[in-house]
Structures are given as structure tokens and as C-alpha cells.
Amino acid sequence: MQRISWDQYFMAQSHLLALRSTCTRLMVGATIVREKRIIAGGYNGSVTGGAHCIDDGCYVVDNHCIRTIHAEVNALLQCAKFGVPTEGSEIYVTHFPCVHCSKAIIQAGVRSVYYAKDYKNHPYAKEMFREAGIEVVQVELDEMSLDQQHLEKMKFTAELLDKLDKAGVEEEELRQLRDEANTLFTQNILRG
């Protein structure tokens, strides 16, 4: 069995954190890491004790929800609250950070930003990261690596499709089933 990579491990953590988000517009998670150890995590949501978007709707001003604290800032604030230094750390985020989060990340001394999905990647955020010498790397979450039985599932599905082919299922229907399986497994390994 091959172990999950560090990047996938920390990105998976950020995706798990995003599931705690109370924002109805976009669920984001962030994990701060230093020396291969998680030092903080955050997700986008309201201030402690405040109304949440999932309960009262988003409070949108100029196309931004001002009720929500972004995941990156929540993770950084968690470090500040508990006296955990962020200098030289790395942050793993489910989406490319906004301009405001980018400024906070730079000021906190984070040295690397890893993000899974592009999201309104602002040119100024990219410029600030470049000028600050911060490494920015896209690391998409490989969900297959989280499922320890994915190889068995793919093999089973391929065998079923082969049996359907031998049973005389129409070519168009079989092609559609193969396409659905490929979409589910995000790889083209089930082509017969």
C-alpha cells in the first residue's frame, strides 16, 4: 500500500474543514502547517456567537458576504489566539486566496501557499505573493488517494462493463455507461 503524499494529506484536511463552513456561497477550508505538523485549521463562517449564513442568509454588500470570516483568516486568528507562531509556515487552502487573505498570509510570515481550486485568482494577490517571495502551488485534491479501495472498485466496474459487453448490450448504451464510470473515477482506465 502506498501512503498518501504530504500535500494530499494536508489538502484533504482543508477539504474536511470546508465541510464545517456555514457560508452558502462557497465552502472553504484552510490548514496551516509547520514542519509537516498541522498547527491550525479554519473554515469560512461567522464570528463566534453570531448569526450564520446557513441560518439567516448571506449579508452581501458589493457582491461580498461581509458576515463571513474567510478560512485563511480564521486559521491565522486561531494561531494568534493560542500563541502559535506562523513565521515560516505553509498554508493549504481549498481555493485560491482573495486579496485580503493574501495580505494576511503575507503579514503572518507564511512562506508557501498551496491551493486546490482556482477561484477569482486576483492578479494583485498573485503579484503580492511574487513580490513577497511566497511560493504558490496548485495542488488539486486526488480524491482517489483517500479511498483505499478505489483500485478494487475500478476493477469491479471494469469487469461489469466487460460482462455487459459480452451479454450484448447495445454499443451506445455501453459507451454511456463507460463514460459515466470514467466520470465517477475521474480517469479513462475503463475503456474497453
Would you state the pLDDT for residue 191? 35
Kindly report the number of other CB atoms within 10 A of residue 114's CB atom: 20
Of 18-22, 88-92, 147-151, give the lowest mean pLDDT range: 147-151
Q: Which three cell numbers stand for residue 144?
A: 482517489
The type of residue at 181 is A
pLDDT tens for each residue of 19-68: 999 998 899 999 999 999 999 999 999 999 999 999 999 999 998 889 99
pLDDT-derived band at 183, boundaries 50, 70, 90? confident
Q: In whole angstroms, what is the distance from residue 29 CA to residue 86 CA?
A: 17
Of 29-33, 74-78, 106-110, 146-150, give the lowest mean pLDDT range: 146-150
The type of residue at 75 is A
Higher-confidence position of 3 and 143: 3
Would you state the pLDDT for residue 147? 57
Would you state the pLDDT for residue 188? 38
Q: Which three cell numbers stand for residue 159?
A: 469487469
Beta partners for 37?
A: 34
Of 85-89, 141-145, 171-175, give the lowest mean pLDDT range: 141-145
Q: What is the mean pLDDT of residues 128-141?
A: 96
For residue 5, which of 139, 113, 100, 115 has the smallest C-alpha distance?
139
Among candidate residues 35, 72, 143, 173, the one labeled active-site is 72
Q: In whole angstroms, what is the distance from residue 36 CA to residue 51 CA?
A: 35
72 labelled catalytic: yes
Q: In whole angstroms, what is the distance from residue 74 CA to residue 93 CA?
A: 12
